[in-house]
Amino acid sequence: MRIAFGKPIIEFQGLQWKLADMETGTAAARELLYKACAMADRSEPLLPKYSSMAKLFASDNAMKVTVEAVQVLGGYGYVNEYPVERMMRDAKITQIYEGTNEIQRVVIARSMT
């Protein structure tokens, strides 16, 4: 447990808010993914839109969460002896491959016209 200024750092509200946002974003990403998977099972016509939204949201969230995880862990988050900096890099590629997130946005926007 990391102690700073005489307290476990989890007791600082600034860090609690970060963790709450990370948890909320990840739960939302999971729900959108499950929805897209259920639509795939039923071959629904809006599947391309929802699969793009799931890929976009989950990968952007993964990037946001891992950047915050590095921040929360301070120096231990940054150095490569610990896995968190690798997780941040791994999250980055999910915004790039399988259709970049810019292209996912193009697909989503086209489905709205």
Of 56 and 72, CB closest to ligand FAD = 56
Contacts of 92 (CB under 8 A, 6+ apart): 63
Q: How far apart are CA 85 and CA 24, in angstroms?
A: 21
Q: How far apart are CA 62 and CA 104, in angstroms?
A: 16
What is the closest distance, in whole angstroms, from the C-beta atom of residue 93 to ligand FAD in the complex? 5
Q: Does the annotation count 11 as an active-site position?
A: no
State the burial class of residue 104 (Cβ atoms within 10 Å of its Cβ: 0-12, 13-18, 19+). buried
Of 35 and 92, CB closest to ligand FAD = 92
| Catalytic residue (choose from 11, 23, 31, 98) | 98
102 binds ligand FAD (CB under 6 A): yes
Q: How far apart are CA 29 and CA 19, in angstroms?
A: 15
Element (H, E) at 8: strand 7-8
Of 27 and 93, CB closest to ligand FAD = 93
What is the closest distance, in whole angstroms, from the C-beta atom of residue 35 to ligand FAD in the complex? 24
Binds ligand FAD by CB under 6 A, chosen from 100, 107, 108, 111: 100
Residues 77-96 that bind ligand FAD (CB under 6 A): 93, 96
| Active site positions, annotated | 98
